[in-house]
Amino acid sequence: MSPDDTQRIISDLNDYTNIKQKISILRYELEHPVTVSPEEMLESMNFAHGTGGGFTVGSVSNKTLYIAMNYQSAASQANAEITDHILSRLLPLEQKLKRMDYYLGLLDKDEELVLRRFYIEKQRANEIASALHTSVWSARRLRDKAVEKLAGMVSFAEGGDWE
């Protein structure tokens, strides 16, 4: 376990609430996606014409007719790409949060409490010490011990040693 592991754990704990907010936003977007309507797809195809004028001069090629006939398929594909993009951002965040919650749950009750209150709930050391019925110094020492323990767990899970 390196000092970088410890710093990464502290950074992840500090970012916990932010990760939860990002997950909530992405879940909302997944449940209420911005979609491409068939009309928007047709309009897009119309303006994508090679002349740049948004209209055809002369006869319409078979290629243009084929594209126009498959507008629904193109709209569905665009909508699937939007969903895939949201999922590609959501799933790693959810995995990170679940991993953090699981490892926090493996700590002693007081260790978990001090980390959650200090890093996630942003409570002051004196408030945490009061909740634990201990001194501020003892609460900080418990916090540091818990961070080291958590960093050891993560390091071990990633193939390193856990001392």
Tens of pLDDT, residues 152-161? 998 899 888 7
In a domain, 163, yes or no: no
pTM of the full structure = 0.71
35 domain-assigned? yes
pLDDT in tens, 73-99: 777 787 788 889 999 999 999 999 999
Please check whether residue 153 is in contact with residue 106, taking contact to mean a CB–CB distance below 8 angstroms: yes
In a domain? residue 162:
no
pLDDT in tens, 11-54: 999 999 999 999 999 999 999 877 766 666 666 656 555 555 55
Q: According to the model, what pLDDT value does residue 110 have? A: 95
Structural domains counted in the chain: 1
Which residue range is the domain that position 57 belongs to? Answer: 3-157
For residues 118 and 57, give the distance between their C-alpha atoms in angstroms, rounded to a whole number. 68
- Please tell me the distance from the alpha carbon of residue 153 to that of residue 151, in angstroms, as a whole number: 5
Residue for token pair 């699981």:
102
- Has residue 67 been placed in a domain? yes
